[in-house]
């Protein structure tokens, strides 16, 4: 069987990936992720920011000033927080102002997103649009069920498919083939990833969160949004991202065309108890935003 062959299905519905070699070894790929060969090197800023947050003598203004030393990064953050994505009534002119409005962890997530998504190839812009949609949906779900930390949840949604970004950057051709195989077999992408390469995009996202010292309340939803039932911490956050992801995909806002919708595990319904009326309100609120994102490009975010 060649690289272009599709996997066989056993009677039990499991994949037989014998003979399919996409050239992605888990241990070697993790080393590439940890070395960040084609990705921005953010650990220094993340470490500095974490140390300053823990230091009672550091003010929010001090932390904002430290981030602002990187003028390119500052301009990207301010461009995003002043875009229609956030919809603030008045301009946000400093990083310190953004910290006051969004909080430390949300801004940490924005630093990652503004630094990573710029490396996404144009062919994968649908992933960027999907991530924006899930972010908006996370914010809406959080508000409807009256859960805490709405802006942090929005950032968790923005970063939930961080691992896919890495795959598009570091292994674009094998990943395109993997997506093609998943679509041909109408199989959720993360399941095909595990079948063919032994790891999935959520796991890659978790590796990066560890490298960049992102807080667990962001890292866990990124790493477990396809497997909420095994998340031991922050399960409501995980479930909010899972629900938001499913809602956006159901509205044809998925990152990949022609992949099937996946039934959510029962624990998600327990963690995010939505009445029929609440679900309708959510759909009415999110649907126009998803439609507006379909033709958006990163250049439109200014």
> How is residue 29 written in tokens?
């790929």
Least confident residue range of 18-22, 55-59, 114-118, 265-269: 18-22
* Predicted pLDDT at 39: 62
266 domain-assigned: yes
Residue 18 DSSP one-character state:
T
pLDDT confidence of 16, banded at 50, 70, 90?
low
pTM: 0.82
Which is nearest to 135 in space by CA: 106, 162, 161, 158?
158
Domain count, the chain: 1
pLDDT confidence of 10, banded at 50, 70, 90?
very low
- Measure the CA angle with vertex 75, ends 72 and 77; round to 5°: 110
- Measure the CA angle with vertex 120, ends 245 and 301; round to 5°: 75
> How is residue 157 written in tokens?
């949604």
1 domain-assigned: no
Q: Is 16 left (phi over 0), alpha (psi -120 to 50) or beta?
A: beta
26 domain-assigned: no
Count of alpha carbons within 13 Å of 249, Cβ hemisphere only?
20
Mean of pLDDT values over 152-163: 92
Q: Is the per-residue pLDDT at 225 higher than 90?
A: yes
| pLDDT tens, residue by residue, 256-283 | 877 888 889 999 999 999 999 999 989 9
> How is residue 286 written in tokens?
């999110």
> How is residue 269 written in tokens?
């319904």
* Predicted pLDDT at 299: 62
Q: Is the per-residue pLDDT at 6 higher than 50?
A: no
Tokens 């959720």 belong to residue? 188
State the Cα–Cα distance between residues 108 and 67, nearest whole angstrom.
10
Mean of pLDDT values over 149-174: 90
User: From residue 232, how far is each of 1, 56, 168, 229 by CA, in Å?
Assistant: 40, 30, 29, 8
Least confident residue range of 39-43, 169-173, 258-262: 39-43
Q: What is the dihedral of CA 251, 256, 262, 268, to 10 degrees?
A: -70
Domain range for 114: 41-301
What are residue 8's DSSP bridge partners?
A: 16
Mean of pLDDT values over 248-256: 86
Mean pLDDT of the chain: 84
> How is residue 171 written in tokens?
């292994």
* Predicted pLDDT at 97: 92
* Predicted pLDDT at 239: 97
101 domain-assigned: yes
CB 225 within 8 A of CB 267: no
Residue 15 DSSP one-character state:
E
Share of the chain above pLDDT 90, in %: 41
36 domain-assigned: no
30 domain-assigned: no
pLDDT confidence of 156, banded at 50, 70, 90?
very high
| pLDDT tens, residue by residue, 54-91 | 898 999 999 999 888 888 788 888 888 887 777 788 88
136 domain-assigned: yes
CB 107 within 8 A of CB 63: no
What are residue 243's DSSP bridge partners?
A: none
Mean of pLDDT values over 124-144: 91
Mean of pLDDT values over 42-60: 81
**CA torsion through residues 40, 119, 159, 21, sign:** negative
Strands (E), the chain: 8-9, 15-16
198 domain-assigned: yes
Mean of pLDDT values over 161-173: 90
Burial class (CB in 10 A: 0-12, 13-18, 19+), 27: exposed
CATH number of 136's domain: 1.10.3210.10
State the Cα–Cα distance between residues 226 and 202, nearest whole angstrom.
8
Q: Is the per-residue pLDDT at 20 higher than 90?
A: no
């Amino acid at each position: 069987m060649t690289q272009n062959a599709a996997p066989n299905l056993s009677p039990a519905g499991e994949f037989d990936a014998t003979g399919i070699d996409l050239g992605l070894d888990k241990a070697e790929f993790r080393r590439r992720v940890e070395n960040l060969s084609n990705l921005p090197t953010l650990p220094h800023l993340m470490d500095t920011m974490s140390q300053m947050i823990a230091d009672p003598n550091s003010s929010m203004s001090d932390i904002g000033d430290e981030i602002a030393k990187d003028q390119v990064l500052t301009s990207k953050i301010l461009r995003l927080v002043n875009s229609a994505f956030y919809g603030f009534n008045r301009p946000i002119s400093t990083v310190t102002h953004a910290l006051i409005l969004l909080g430390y962890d949300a801004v940490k997530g924005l630093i990652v997103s503004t630094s990573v998504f710029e490396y996404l190839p144009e062919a994968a812009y649908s992933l960027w649009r999907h991530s924006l949609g899930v972010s908006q949906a996370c914010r809406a779900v959080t508000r409807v069920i009256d859960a805490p930390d709405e802006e942090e949840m929005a950032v968790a949604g923005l970063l939930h498919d961080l691992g896919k970004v890495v795959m598009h950057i570091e292994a674009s051709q094998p990943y395109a083939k993997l997506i093609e195989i998943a679509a041909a077999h109408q199989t959720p992408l993360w399941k095909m990833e595990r079948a063919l390469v032994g790891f999935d995009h959520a796991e890659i996202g978790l590796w990066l969160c560890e490298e960049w010292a992102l807080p667990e309340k962001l890292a866990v939803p990124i790493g477990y949004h396809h497997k909420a039932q095994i998340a031991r911490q922050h399960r409501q956050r995980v479930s909010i991202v899972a629900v938001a992801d499913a809602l956006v995909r159901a509205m044809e806002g998925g990152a990949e065309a022609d992949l099937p919708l996946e039934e959510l595990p029962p624990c998600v319904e327990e963690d995010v108890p939505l009445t029929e009326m609440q679900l309708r309100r959510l759909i009415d609120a999110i649907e126009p935003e998803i439609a507006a994102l379909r033709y958006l490009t990163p250049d439109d975010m200014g």
